[in-house]
Amino acid sequence: MRTQSPTVEDELVRRKRQEQLALPESLGQFVREQAALHGERIAAVWFDRGISMTYAQIDSMASQLADSLVKRGIRKGCHVALMLKNAPEFVITWIALGRIGAVMVPVNTSYTQDELVFVLTDADAQYLVIDAEFLPRLAAAPALPGLLAWERVIVCGESEHPLRWAALLEAGSADFTAPSAVSRHDLLNLQYTSGTTGFPKGCMLSHDYWMIHCHGAARHRRGPEAGIENVLIWAPFFYMDPMWQFLMTMKLGGTAYIAERMSLTRFMSWLIDYRIHYCIFPEPALSQHPRGPRDAEVHLKYISIYGWTRSAREEVQARFGVIAREGFGMTEVGTGALVPAWAHDKALERTCGLPAPFRELQIRREDGSVAEVDEVGELWIRGRGILWGYYKRPEANAESFDGDWFRTGDLFRRDAQGFYFIVGRIKEMIKRAGENVSATEVETVLRGMDAIDEAAVVAVPDPLRREEVKAYLKLREGLTQGDVPPAAVFEHCARHLAPFKVPRYLQYIEGDFPRTPSRKIAKKRLIAETVDPFADTFDRQESRWR
């Protein structure tokens, strides 16, 4: 008897069933429940540091630290900033703060002194847990920011500072009870996210946000291809991705293998050495590690991919026999959409999938009306557990919300089957002679050339058309500009893009792009570090190098 394949309707029914399941009330309760279930099983391995911890150890240590932090004056609602590396201290402190009902403010470890002071001041941080390596940055500031005082700075690592994280942990009792009850409606993270312009904004994220995020992620990766136990986490923990991946791993009862920092050269070894079943897979790792006999040693079962070309999707699934699925998420809403494991044909397209549990999606026109099928408009999202709003940003909140709908600022379309496709970012659109050009769309076409490893498309000023399209190209290893001349690139683009979308300017990148800690191309730095945006570029209109 033949079993029918699932349908979109089946997926939406499954999603509704998930929404009926009870979730833990708080981060602390969740960790306690998982520790009771998995006890002495290894929960996390910080392999660069040679440290492993069981579920029971993490639970106990979080309570010990919480006990000491309460004795130091931290209470429910207190804002505590963390400027830490990918180390056990980050995870344990987050859980401890959640157990108290305090609010964690993750701080980017690459921040300059000015950026650090801004976030600590804007977030109203009363306490700071900081790695000793970053302490000089704070000490060099003219004055401590906002509500902070030196007696409320806790240092991890070797330092002469009197308040040490390790001492607090050792002094605390694992028999801890929070002075105030903590529920899913309480604030857990003040998560700073950079917009396209201006200073970062703090997203107010509740305990419910994180429980929905990690439980949805875990359930999505269960099914006929179950058995995900070993998860690789390589991005910095001050971003939201590693945090939900860590909690997802705990929900699966698995083990998180945590890298100190990303390394494309070591990536394949990580997959093999730790028998990784799931990770967010960076597309450049495919070209960094070409097909070879070691492919047979990879045990991947499921990977998350974002913005990959069709050829790369086909290659990774063929090489490793893995389910590769895209999705859409952002700090403000967590997971918004996911491609189901059963949607094999759709997975080869650049679709973000179907609405995730607890999420309702609509595509709206500029006047706020709902768009038709395949009509491009802005993606709006609502649902339980999305951000409360931006901390101390009434103007941004007024612009970003319409009732309970959050306006993402991303351009999408929805096909007749109900699958959502990202088109581009509204504020990253290039306005060329009255026409909107999606940088994402042009980048996707450029990366469709086998010779191009990565591409970044930006706007450059133009006196006639207001803005022109410029593409930075990174070629695959071993290839040079002579192998991929501008004429070949323009010809390829002309086959796939309307004439006004074809880049006028091309610039070849030697080495690598400037990148964020999560390995995304840092377009702002790319532009800022270019003194003359037209130098060393090929001008298609004038058919010459400038």
Contact 369, 380 (CB under 8 A): no
Three-state SS annotation for 329-367:
EECCCEEEEECCCCCCCHHHCCEEEEECCCCEEEEECCC
Confidence of residue 525 (pLDDT cuts 50, 70, 90): confident
pLDDT at 540 (0 to 100)? 97
Compute the C-alpha angle 34/87/124, nearest 5°. 90
Domain end position, chosen among 190, 205, 220 = 205
pLDDT at 196 (0 to 100)? 43
Contact 175, 106 (CB under 8 A): no
Contact 305, 328 (CB under 8 A): no
pLDDT in tens, 110-141: 888 888 999 999 999 999 999 999 999 999 99
- Assign residue 522 the CATH number of its domain: 3.30.300.30
Count of positions (residues) in the chain:
546
Domain that holds residue 478: 429-545
Q: Would you say residue 354 lies in a domain?
A: no
pLDDT > 90 fraction of the chain, expressed in percent and rounded: 77
Alpha helix (H) ranges present in 279-335?
Answer: 284-288, 310-320
pLDDT at 225 (0 to 100)? 53
Pick the closest to residue 325 from 247, 467, 223, 478 (CA basis). 223
Domain end position, chosen among 205, 226, 245 = 205
Q: What are phi and psi of 254, to 5 degrees?
A: -100, -160
Tell me the average pLDDT of the chain.
92
Q: Would you say residue 410 lies in a domain?
A: no
Q: Would you say residue 107 lies in a domain?
A: yes
- Residue corresponding to tokens 């703090």: 202
Compute the C-alpha angle 194/390/419, nearest 5°. 70
What's the farthest any 2 CA atoms get from each other in the chain? 75
Number of alpha carbons in the 13 Å side-chain half-sphere of residue 407: 20
pLDDT in tens, 374-428: 999 999 999 999 999 999 999 999 999 999 999 999 999 999 999 999 987 777 7
Q: Would you say residue 326 lies in a domain?
A: no
pLDDT at 309 (0 to 100)? 84
pLDDT at 427 (0 to 100)? 72
Pick the closest to residue 155 from 103, 81, 91, 64 (CA basis). 81
Alpha helix (H) ranges present in 75-179?
Answer: 88-100, 113-122, 135-139, 165-171
Q: Would you say residue 491 lies in a domain?
A: yes
- Assign residue 134 the CATH number of its domain: 3.40.50.12780
CA 386 to CA 465: how far, in whole Å? Answer: 39
Q: Would you say residue 237 lies in a domain?
A: no
Sheet holding 505-508, edge to edge: 452-462, 466-475, 505-508, 538-539, 544-545
Q: Would you say residue 267 lies in a domain?
A: no
pLDDT at 224 (0 to 100)? 45
Contact 299, 275 (CB under 8 A): yes
Decide the pairing of beta strands 452-462 and 466-475: antiparallel
pLDDT at 222 (0 to 100)? 64
pLDDT at 198 (0 to 100)? 55
Pick the closest to residue 88 from 32, 133, 144, 43 (CA basis). 43
pLDDT at 371 (0 to 100)? 96
Contact 238, 85 (CB under 8 A): no
Domain end position, chosen among 205, 230, 246 = 205
Q: Would you say residue 130 lies in a domain?
A: yes
CA 514 to CA 111: how far, in whole Å? Answer: 15
Q: Kindly report the pTM of this predicted structure.
A: 0.86
Number of domains, the chain: 2
286, 446, 473, 518 from 484: Cα distances, Å: 20, 12, 10, 29
pLDDT at 245 over 80: yes
Residue 422: strand, helix, or coil: strand
Decide the pairing of beta strands 327-330 and 334-338: antiparallel
